A and B are shown apart, each in its own frame.
Chain A
């Protein structure tokens, strides 16, 4: 029989049934303890949750050899891991991934407030024994995961715009993985916040809503550039939007008014956030959630990481190609603006833009819209390119790595949700058109 590999026993490492561990003190007295978490770190390492300063802790610091017994939660097959303590991590990706899983385990077992991760004890796995026994038949292997990766890859390969790529990823999640609620957020590297550019399955799209770095599973996945998965309802990671109040009665409180509500579930029971990376840089976060417990296993995590990798590469390629626009298409005669004027108000303080007193957008996307409208009013221009936006200092794009295309997707989607009178239409790679159906009156507030 082939040796059992750590990857073969991942179902045992999901925390469904606690593991037990034997250590040995310097004086030769053995010790046995329950371990809430035996976490799959990589193919040769596990990390155990260090929650209490106890005998196990004393023992492994004095004698690094330990033996762990795990059990398959469906078949009851036993495996023994012979491990050797290497180090303890108290921050970073591994720690945060374990902390999230432990929060779910604590919640599931009624141990909130008792289970608290002090550190991730990393062990090298020297040997795995598959024990004899009379296990139950295993569940049939989950099929279709590779097909889902294939479909996602195919769909992304056909995409010519960021809009399409975002839709392709969300469609794959719902078509092949049964994910009902998902969103994609992009990083605003200057503000160190994430903004929603696409979502599916929510009452409101939430496009434009923001999450801070480190806030909830999305913010932790972004900050640590690591997947964060919660398999049971827990309060530890609930996203809460701080209430804000206006201090000045005569001017709108821009912070409060410009808050687009986060669209996520009020009581999620499973959540999975994976970073979207390219060339080691964080671009954003792909996030899925469910109102049911135990919705996302390690295979779902693997799958989302693979999809996020494809998405990251696609986003970077599109960014590069849209910076060198193709030749301008012949301009169509824009429809004449008619009807009552549309009042557009711009607050320079945070580049927020209001349409007829309704909040639309702020920040870079707000600055872009203001530039487009000024050019339209002053010069009658309707055709624009990404390249000129990039070069326009009034927009103050944070830096060259900032994803301009994502800002335009955000602006386009916010405008579309606001009505038909003011739109942005793509006209080609790196080119777009401003469509204005009502006369506009611009009002600048410094």
Chain B
């Protein structure tokens, strides 16, 4: 186990850059969702930052700003290894030039990941296409994590106690 309680292989997968999907909800409990276009996992998993496009994610960004609630799934396409982390105090900021290397590294990793399941890098580039000035960075400390790899262990709590 690592400092956060994430198994080392799952933490390494998150750090490397795999598919990232973020969700939140509004005051009426209506869920919102979008694919992130970049991610950065630091401090052994204590600090997670994901990037979403504002024009693609207006509701999600608004919901996180209003409620602080966020659920984020990291999944490796070729193996279906999946982990979900959740937090109730996510913070938002605009992306900046200093984020560009993180985004570039993420794109490279994802081109490789998605090519392994049979899709050409140009599809991945279209999936992750963005303008830096449109990106919002969402940063949070995971309070709870679940193994969500399909199979008998799916849903197992990896750490944390809140829902």
Interface residues of A (CB under 8 A from B): 17, 20-25, 27-34, 51-52, 54-55, 63, 65-69, 71, 73-76, 78, 80, 82, 109, 111, 114-115, 131-136
Q: B25 near A: Cβ within 8 Å?
A: yes
Please name all residues of chain B whose beta carbon is closer than 8 Å to the beta carbon of A31 when the two chains form the complex.
23, 31, 71, 84, 86
**In the complex, chain A residues whose CB is within 8 Å of the CB of B31:** 22-24, 30-31, 65-67
Instruction: Kindly list chain A residues whose C-beta atoms are within 8 Å of the C-beta of B123.
Output: 73-74, 76, 136
Asked if B33 is an interface residue, CB under 8 A from chain A, the answer is yes
Q: In the docked arrangement, what's the CA distance between A80 and B72, Å?
A: 17
Query: In the complex where A20-B73, A22-B25, A34-B73 touch, is A133 in contact with B126 (Cβ < 8 A)?
Result: yes
Using A22-B25, A136-B123 as known contacts, say yes or no to A80 and B33 having CB atoms under 8 A apart. yes
Which residues of chain B from 106 to 151 have a CB within 8 Å of any chain A CB?
Answer: 117, 119, 122-124, 126-127, 129, 146, 148, 150-151
Which of A23, A67, A73, A132 has the largest count of B CB atoms less than 10 A from its CB?
A: A67
Known A34-B148, A55-B155, A76-B124; 16 more pairs at CB < 8 Å: A20-B33, A22-B24, A22-B31, A29-B162, A30-B69, A30-B86, A31-B71, A31-B84, A32-B71, A33-B148, A34-B75, A67-B30, A114-B150, A132-B55, A134-B129, A136-B123
Residues of A within 8 A of B86 (CB): 29-31
In-complex Cβ contact of B71 among A22, A27, A82 (8 A):
A22
Q: Are A22 and B23 in contact (CB under 8 A)?
A: yes
Query: Smallest Cβ distance from A31 to chain B, in angstroms?
Result: 5
Considering the chains assembled together, what is the distance between the CA atoms of A83 and B99 in angstroms?
35
Among B29, B126, B155, which residue has its beta carbon within 8 angstroms of that of A65? B29
Give chain B interface residues in 70-96, CB to chain A under 8 Å: 70-73, 75, 80, 82, 84, 86, 88
15 pairs of residues in contact across A and B, judged by CB atoms under 8 Å: A20-B21, A23-B31, A24-B25, A28-B25, A30-B31, A30-B32, A34-B148, A54-B155, A55-B146, A69-B34, A69-B35, A73-B119, A78-B35, A80-B34, A131-B55
B67 at the A interface (CB under 8 A): yes
Q: A74 — nearest CB in chain B belongs to which residue?
A: B123
Interface size on B, residues (CB 8 A): 43
Interface: B98 (CB within 8 A):
no
| A55→B71 CA distance, assembly (Å) | 12
Q: Which residues of B (36-61) have their CB < 8 Å from a CB of A?
A: 53, 55-56
Shortest CB–CB separation between residue B9 and chain A, in angstroms?
18
A111–B80 contact, CB under 8 A? Answer: yes
Kindly name the residue among B29, B30, B117 whose own CB sees the greatest number of chain A CB atoms within 10 A.
B29
Does B154 reach chain A (CB closer than 8 Å)? yes
Given the known A-B contacts A52-B154, A66-B31, are A30 and B23 also in contact in the complex, defined by CB atoms under 8 Å?
Answer: yes
| Bound: A32/B21 CA distance, A | 7
Contact of B29 among A24, A68, A76, A114 (CB under 8 A): A24
> A20, B154: Cβ atoms under 8 Å?
no
Shortest Cβ distance from residue A262 to the other chain B in the assembled complex, whole angstroms: 32
Q: Contact at A32–B29, with CB atoms within 8 Å?
A: no
CB distance from B152 to the nearest CB of A (A): 9
Tell me the bound Cα distance from A51 to B124 in angstroms: 28
**Chain A's nearest CB lies how many Å from the CB of B159?**
16
